[in-house]
Amino acid sequence: MRVILQLFLAALIGLQANAWADTPYKAEAQNNSDYFPPRGEWAGISAADAGFDPQGLEAAVSLAEASTVLEPTDLGVAILNSYADREPNYRVLGPTGKRSQGSGVILSGGRIVAQWGDTGQPEMTFSVVKSYLSTLVGLAWRDGLIPDLDQPVYQLVRSPLFDSEHNRKVTWRQLLNQTSDWSGELWDVHDWADRPVGDDPALWPNRELFEPGTHFKYNDVRINLLAFSLLEVMREPLPVILREQIMNPIGASPTWRWYGYENSWVTLDGQRIQSVSGGGHFGGGLFISTLDHARFGLLFLRQGRWAERQIVPFEWLAMVREPTPVKTDYGYLWWLNTDQERLPTAPESAYFALGYGGNVIYIDEENDLVVVLRWIPEWENVITAIMEAKVS
């Protein structure tokens, strides 16, 4: 039954995506760098007018297309191959999909300077959704629902998940920068079973606990804990909040979906609600198109503003890029280009959302660029080629 439901949802999304895959593309250069694309439209600009060497940019796009990896096409198979041999009792708990082709888009001044593939097809985006989740925390902070990021989470979320002495120390900030070292089990998955450390499985359940805030560990169980905790505080399904407060105002398509797991349902204020996942490690997560990612990236490029409306708090834009003391190339679920270590040809101020398989939203304020890439594991080479093609 679950497989039939997933097939039905995938077919429905595919039908909806067809209407958005052919977004009107108007090749019109404008001097105004404060452009916001209307719903269902997007202006274009030539490579030369955007300050690129046309041949260099064409070569960068060719590199992106040549670097695309689509096998195995079935992403359920792909994540099983990646995690099942290493993680105890690993199983896929949420829906998965297929990667049909690569795609990408480059925005300069908010306008499309290059695009390739089916940019309107929603696909799994894995850990890129973490940056969307971080943004919803920013809205809760703006509204006073989380007044202090250094406040222990248990003070607002009364759950057995925070009953232990260790877990009662965990703060919202530590969940945002993945330094909480929260210990426990959520949706039938132990924290230590996600990317376990060390070569002796017998030691994994009794791992050393680090003082919260002192040790970075990339861990989807704890990200799912953040999503659950945010649901408890905001008291509405997170996809509904994302749609109403962010995606609709920026003119995104109606084709994206945000899933949790088959066992991540909770009862909240008398309603049965699915707590969504903050990645696709166990399936689920955000299924979204390249163009919708580009709108989200443009929102951040424009400091949280869309046209005349401040959607994301201006202060939050600086906060998400504060380097984590014990992991200086990581902020609040965004990756940073600290000391230009990861991207030497890009500004240090550039930052990006990253997901399994080479899903990327790259944001570069100094060059007024947004780049979205799908299924390019060696994505750094593509960004480097794009930056090398920039001549002014």
Give the pLDDT score at 19.
38
171 in any annotated domain: yes
308 in any annotated domain: no
Give the pLDDT score at 350.
98
Ranges of residues in the chain with a pLDDT under 50 are: 1-31
CA distance 357 to 125: 9
91 in any annotated domain: no
86 in any annotated domain: no
118 in any annotated domain: no
**Residue that is written with structure tokens 């979906």 in the block:** 257
Q: How many domains does the chain have?
A: 1
pLDDT digits (tens, 9 = 90+) for 5-46: 444 444 444 444 333 343 443 434 344 568 999 999 999 999
CA distance 180 to 221: 11
Give the pLDDT score at 384.
98
Give the pLDDT score at 259.
98
296 in any annotated domain: no
Give the pLDDT score at 283.
98
Cα dihedral sign, 5-7-9-15 = negative
First to last CA, the chain: 55
Scanning 157-219, the segments in alpha helix (DSSP H) are 172-176
**Residue that is written with structure tokens 């990339």 in the block:** 218
208 in any annotated domain: yes
Tallying the residues shown for the chain, one arrives at 392
Helix axes 129-142, 220-234, angle to 10 degrees: 30
Domain with 222, as residue range(s), is 153-228
335 DSSP β-pair partners: 330, 352
pLDDT digits (tens, 9 = 90+) for 56-80: 999 999 999 999 999 999 999 999 9
CA distance 316 to 60: 32
Give the pLDDT score at 33.
61
DSSP-derived secondary structure for 371-388:
EEE-S-TTHHHHHHHHHH
217 in any annotated domain: yes
Close Cβ partners of 291 (under 8 Å, ≥ 6 residues apart): 20, 23, 42, 105, 119, 120, 253
Close Cβ partners of 332 (under 8 Å, ≥ 6 residues apart): 134, 137, 173, 176, 177, 319, 320, 322
Q: Are 282 and 91 in contact (CB under 8 A)?
A: yes
